[in-house]
Amino acid sequence: MAEQSLTLAPQKAEADEKVIRPVQSYWGVVWQRLRSDWITMAALALLLFMVTISLGAPWIGEHVLGFSPTATNLRQRNDPPTWAAAAWPQFQAFTLSCQTSAHCDWSQWGSITSAAVEGLGTCLTAELGGCHWMGTDDAGRDVLTRGVYGGRISLRIGLWVAGVSMTLGVLMGLISGYYATTFIDDIVNAIIMTLGSIPLLFLLIILSRIFQPGPEGLAILIGLFGWMGLSRLIRGQIFSVRERDYVIASRAIGTPAWGIMFKHILPNVSSIIIVSAVFNIAGAIIAEAGLSYLGVGIGPPLPSWGNMMQGSLGNFTDAPWLVITPGIFIFLTTLSIYLLGDGLRDALDPTLQRTS
Amino acid sequence: MTRYIIRRGIQSLLLMWVATIIGFTVYQLAPGGPLQFLDDDPKKSQEDVNRLERLYGIDRTLPAQYIAWAFGEDWLPATPYWRSGRCLADPTTCVRGIVRLDFGRSFHYQGQSVIGLIMERIPATFLLAFSSLLLSVVIGVPLGIISALYRGRWPDNVVRVTTVLLNTVPEWWIGLLLLIILGGYFGLVPLGGMQTIGDGSLLDRLHHLILPATVSAIGGWIGFSRILRFEMLDVLSQDYVRTAQAKGLSRKAVILRHVLRNALMPFVTGLSGIFLLVLSGSVLFEIVFSWPGMGRLTIDAINSRDYPLMMALFVISSFLGILGVLLVDILYSVVDPRVRYDGHMGS
């Protein structure tokens, strides 16, 4: 008998295995959906690339570009990109022709392009540190190197802001949703209403001027004013979850309020939190750029995408590379984050039918 | 209706009061102060310090300082004027401070009253803000309608891709770039300012206004087109639209009479958010376009550490924001009768 059962048991398991389909976890399904969406995967690749070059900025600065982000060279202030050294004066002559005469002298573009192409050739073959790909700034520092380094600050701030505002948003949302229609909810709503009816940029500028924070401090300041949207979303979601049977059952067996919140309600709103965290990072990068551009964000020795443009205030038409380079970095990073967020929103929604 | 307006009015007054408290708190947090220059003075005596503290009113407790700052000196119970009882008999003689928009004098622009400095700049900010609001409606509403009606087809895709792309860079950066190309290289628009000196003609002013207004409207029209697309799609799926179609109405009549009218309602709520966005954004756009408004004054005040001016700018811009939102809410309650009864504004 014992022998029989011993031999039978594995056979039975084998038979069961043929029927049981592989278990699909929620995150497994999410990953599958993400993988089949090529735009999201491209965005993820671009974001990973931006993160990698930011993390590897010291190595890239030393071995690929050949410049230090803080090494000044007062003989090369506001130099055009090395490959455009010959083309830039011609381009300036072209713009002068646009402003002085009635028609632009488009015939100059032939020599401008050929000079630029020739310059690109010499720049590609130049030795390490021989080519400023995006020109130099008002202290003769290499703009591209600073741009690569700037990602360290911007992404760090983005992550911190997302952390701060997500924590605040989740806490406030959970509290006000769970204690809806009590005075706690009223207080949270009053705070949201106050923050929603004053121009926050004014306050943010004044506060960051007074405290002159470092990257983390600035991120906390930005995060303090960025949680209201998420809090509202979560509050609304809780209204639909809190009267479900399993929540009522859990309350009936005596689970404390915070237990219900974290065990039963939070997992239900996790997809909202993830998606808004992703969008929050992009928003924070843009906010930091604005504050630093105004001169109240990240201070000058540290390169950030915002304060790199600050130096361009007086001479942006003579040195457009100071404006263009950080803008391209911001564009690539936030574009990848936005597309990733869009893809995540679709992938995380379990009720979404794949129709397209 | 009247009850709703009264309630929102009281709410707004409370919000303004909270804004003054935030302003005062931030002012207190600021390092330094009017007596900081004495810190390194070896000849200072305690008597001098006391006398100066009394002069600036900083020997009082914080609540007393707040009352003096916000409502006027005479409301402090210790002052002779209060003891004489005249303040209670005729409050208008005593009310000073912020209630009368008296923010004291500027540190940096010596001797000038803060409110005078701000009042000089407000018209410029309003001109920019309202023209960009107008442009965001003019551009955003048609785009929203088009992308809802052609949902999933190329016009919708073009609008959506454009909005995503515009969202991924700071709007003021787009302004800077356009300024370089159109202004710096092609000389099509002026490089900044409100008018050419000595030329105050309407055409010249419009020429200076066009680029700043268009660029600062970007956020607004993205917002409006999104709201409108969402609302249109929502209304298009309603039963009464299907009924109207089933009844044999033409597509044009259905869209104009049934869909658009209902979709435009929530659009008014979007207006207050976008008004705040434009007001807030004025700081950045006024710097980029050298526009002589409140935003630029804020940066000047900050760079010269002019705390009275800074605080006044914060409080005034908050007042403007709160009043703007109130105005939109009242407008909304006039347009949409449902609001008056349950009193909630939706999102």
B212 has a pLDDT exceeding 70: yes
Q: Is A126 left (phi over 0), alpha (psi -120 to 50) or beta?
A: beta
- For residue A138, being part of any structural domain is answered with no
CA distances from A137 to A66, A95, A147, B77 (A): 16, 21, 11, 59
User: How much is the average pLDDT of B85-95?
Assistant: 68
Residue of B193 and B10 predicted with greater confidence: B10
Q: How many domains, chain A?
A: 1
Partners of A198 on chain B (C-beta within 8 Å) are: 15, 19, 22, 317-318, 321-322
Between chains, do A95 and B280 touch, taking CB under 8 Å as contact?
no
Candidates A206, A313, A330; nearest CB to B170 = A330
Average pLDDT taken over every residue of chain A: 82
Residue of B150 and B71 predicted with greater confidence: B150
- For residue A266, being part of any structural domain is answered with yes
pLDDT-above-70 percentage for chain B: 86
Q: How far is residue A356's CA from residue A352's CA, in Å, rounded to a whole number?
A: 11
**In the prediction, which pLDDT does B87 show?**
67
A14 has a pLDDT exceeding 80: no
Task: Please tell me which residue of chain B has the smallest CA distance to A312.
Answer: B176
Q: How far is residue A193's CA from residue B326's CA, in Å, rounded to a whole number?
A: 12
Between chains, do B15 and A202 touch, taking CB under 8 Å as contact?
no
**Residue A329 C-alpha, separation from nearest chain B C-alpha, in angstroms:** 9
Q: How far is residue B97's CA from residue B114's CA, in Å, rounded to a whole number?
A: 12
**In the prediction, which pLDDT does B276 show?**
83
- For residue A207, being part of any structural domain is answered with yes
User: How much is the average pLDDT of A203-215?
Assistant: 86
Q: How far is residue A285's CA from residue A277's CA, in Å, rounded to a whole number?
A: 13
Chain A contact for B172 (CB, 8 A cutoff) = yes
Chain B contact for A210 (CB, 8 A cutoff) = yes
**Residue A157 C-alpha, separation from nearest chain B C-alpha, in angstroms:** 16
- For residue A117, being part of any structural domain is answered with no
Range 15-44 of B in CB contact (< 8 A) with A: 15, 18-19, 22, 26, 29-31
* CATH number for the domain that contains residue A192: 1.10.3720.10
Partners of B298 on chain A (C-beta within 8 Å) are: 202, 205-206
Between chains, do B186 and A293 touch, taking CB under 8 Å as contact?
no
> Which residues, listed in sequence order, are joined to residue A136 by a DSSP beta bridge?
A142
Q: Phi and psi at residue A114, in whole multiples of 5°?
A: -65, -40
Full residue range of the structural domain in which residue A190 is found: 149-347
The per-residue pLDDT for range A59-99, each reduced to its tens digit, is 888 888 878 887 777 787 878 888 888 888 888 888 888 87
The per-residue pLDDT for range B144-184, each reduced to its tens digit, is 888 888 888 888 888 888 888 888 889 899 998 998 888 88
The per-residue pLDDT for range B218-243, each reduced to its tens digit, is 988 888 888 888 888 888 888 888 88
Which residue bears the tokens 């392009």? A113
B143 has a pLDDT exceeding 70: yes
- For residue A272, being part of any structural domain is answered with yes
Rg (CA), chain B: 26
Q: How far is residue A63's CA from residue A145's CA, in Å, rounded to a whole number?
A: 11
- For residue A32, being part of any structural domain is answered with no
Q: Which of A202, A278, A337 to mutate to test the interface with B (most CBs of B within 10 A)?
A: A202
CA distances from B251 to B106, B144, B240, B242, B257 (A): 61, 17, 14, 11, 10
Q: How far is residue B252's CA from residue B225's CA, in Å, rounded to a whole number?
A: 20
Between chains, do B180 and A289 touch, taking CB under 8 Å as contact?
no
Contact assessment for residue B147 and residue B156, using Cβ atoms and an 8 Å cutoff: yes
Angle between helices A321-348 and B154-167 (to 10 degrees): 120
Partners of B187 on chain A (C-beta within 8 Å) are: 98-99
- For residue A27, being part of any structural domain is answered with no
Q: How far is residue B24's CA from residue B21's CA, in Å, rounded to a whole number?
A: 5
